[in-house]
Amino acid sequence: MQNIIQTEHLTKKFGKIIAVDNLDLEIPHGVTFGLLGPNGAGKTTTVRILNAIIKPTSGKAKVNGYDIQKDQKKVKSISGFLPESPGLYDKLTCVEFLEFIGELYSVPSAILKERIYELIELFELKGRENDLLEGYSRGMKQKVCLMSAIIHDPKVIFLDEPTSNLDPEASLMVRDMIQQLAKKADKTIFLCTHLLKHAEDLCDIIGIIKEGKLVIEGDTKKIIEETDTKDLEQAYLKIMGKVREEDLLGWRK
Ligand SMILES: Nc1ncnc2c1ncn2[C@@H]1O[C@H](COP(=O)(O)OP(=O)(O)OP(=O)(O)O)[C@@H](O)[C@H]1O
Ligand SMILES: [Mg+2]
């Protein structure tokens, strides 16, 4: 099977900091891939490179066969990206913002209208859709950003911490939405998350990075087996050289 995302020795340096270090990823079509790793591990930098927002220092990457440096427009046209700190136009309403983004992606207007109202229903923003975004709460803004990342029905969806700022109910809704999207035959989802439970529930393949390097890759079962642990949380902490607090406080029992 041809890989929809492929990186070869992908490296990004910011001065002396090596944010992404010789990363080789092979992500097949149609899977949900989870990139896990501690703060500063290089997850956001990786997705920004894969979305042709920043250039790698060295190495190569292709998304859907398009070179991220030579075919930037094509890469952007087939990808949807929810960034870590998205920006919104505060003086637009939710509907106006989504119309604007949809038009940028040349979504036909009849389809766009329908999609906007479907998403507003799904994300439970009905009744607020014509309010200015400046009056939205953080979580509501996050929902609008998520909607804008999928408004053009992209083939590859990059979600950088999609549930940050969301309340538990909205977080579960997003998890379900990712699951629904993942069921569609030609969708590949690239998810950066700190929520190991979500990664376990959602991802077919998980990659764990530490200091820009891929430490382990595989399905949850493989990662648990290879680390000789009981669950993904234990495996993750073992890889990071940490112990769980409950184990740490074992002497108290
Ligand atoms: N524009 C930048 N300029 C300088 N250093 C940067 C820049 N962007 C990222 N870095 C550095 O690169 C490293 C990786 O950062 P990155 O944001 O990719 O981590 P992350 O895995 O997404 O972390 P988090 O879980 O906190 O979101 C960090 O050391 C960070 O300080
Ligand atoms: Mg990040």
**Residues of the chain where predicted confidence (pLDDT) is lower than 70:** 1, 243-253
**pLDDT one-digit tens code per residue, 18-75:** 999 999 999 999 999 999 999 999 999 999 999 999 999 999 999 999 999 999 999 9
Main-chain dihedrals φ then ψ at residue 175, nearest 5 degrees: -60, -45
pTM above 0.85, yes or no: yes
Closest-approaching ligand to the CA atom of 12: 1
Q: Whose CA is nearest to atom 2 of ligand 1?
A: 14
pLDDT at 86: 77
b/e sequence 27-59, b meaning 16+ C-beta within 10 Å: bebbbbbbbbbeeebbbbbbbbbbbbeeebeeb
Residue 46 CA to ligand 1 centre (angstroms)? 9
pLDDT at 138: 85
Q: Whose CA is nearest to atom 1 of ligand 1?
A: 14
Distance CA 31, CA 182 (A): 7
Distance CA 135, CA 131 (A): 7
- Name beta bridge partners: 217: 207
| Candidate from 11, 13, 45 with most ligand 1 atoms within 8 A of CB, to mutate | 45
Closest-approaching ligand to the CA atom of 43: 1
Distance CA 174, CA 198 (A): 10
Residue 105 CA to ligand 2 centre (angstroms)? 25
Pick one of 3.40.50.1220, 2.40.110.10, 3.40.50.12280, 3.40.50.300 as the CATH number of 3-85+153-218: 3.40.50.300
